Amino acid sequence: MEIVSENYSFGGCQTVYTHRSETCGCDMTFGAYLPPQARHGPVPVLWYLSGLTCTHENAMTKGGFQQHAARHGLAVIFPDTSPRGTTVSDDEAYDLGQGAGFYVNATRDPWKSHFRMYDYVVTELRNLVTEHLSVQDKHGITGHSMGGHGAITIALRNEALFESLSAFAPIAQPTQSDWGRKQLSAYLGDDETAWAGHDSTLLLEEYGWKGDILVDQGASDQFLDLLKPEALADMMARRRQPGQVRMQRGYDHSYFFVNTFASDHVAWHAERLL
């Protein structure tokens, strides 16, 4: 790993790293915040997965997570949302290609050689972080929008790897949404049975979750029809899954929404990880 930048923040250090990814076949960048407690020994990890068009930097600079992570003693990892570079396939649309990896392993050309964000987050970057940073092998995961979809689907499919789970305005049922059907068909093909493993609502029905789940959703979110929070809330009720889906009056889909409730989510994870 090579250090791109380091900044002192709330007594800890916000660092940006770049490294060669064998999984994605390109250089990848991620942010890592280590709280002051990490100077005295390894700390638990909260993973934050970002949404469409974002890089590692958006939540790192706009989410306000460092202050809360420092208070509770959690590290926060901010992966990028896709592979990048001149040799990596892209699309003119904002919701496909670079910046829109959707946290799946693509099986179709031209995406399959690089777009393997599922394996990157679950295996390669996780191993890199636990090997080289002052962190415990004790992980929670959250994310926003496409990243909320990624957080829930990854956690439900890898229950043994994560101790806590939350999401901000996740794409809750991508198999039934234009934010999902387009990307899943492009990356995985037209066989919709292959999509089910990347649908939060369907995965919750199949697997459930070992703990409780916290989901915050802005009630004035301009993308509500694409996110479909009611599908996930209904499945939680039908499956009697412990947790909360909180509709927050007046809030939209922006980082102002994420920043407002970041404190709640960090505290939620800290209570379950510490």
Task: Choose, from 56, 139, 253, 269, the residue flagged as catalytic.
Answer: 253
Contact indicator for 66, 14 with CB cutoff of 8 Å: yes
Tokens 């990307």, residue?
183
Q: How far apart are CA 81 and CA 101, in angstroms?
A: 6
Which residues lie below 8 Å from residue 161, measured CB to CB, with a gap of 6+?
122, 126, 139, 155
Q: Which of 145, 164, 166, 200 is catalytic?
A: 145
Options 95, 200, 221, 265, the catalytic residue: 221
Q: Which residues contact 158 (CB under 8 A, 6 or more apart)?
A: 122
Q: Is 166 a catalytic residue?
A: no
221 classed as catalytic: yes
Q: Is 139 among the residues known to form the active site?
A: no
- Rounded to whole angstroms, the maximal C-alpha distance in the chain is 51
Specify whether the CB–CB gap between 74 and 269 falls below 8 A.
yes
Q: CA nearest 153: which of 25, 35, 252, 49?
A: 49
The catalytic residue positions are 145, 221, 253
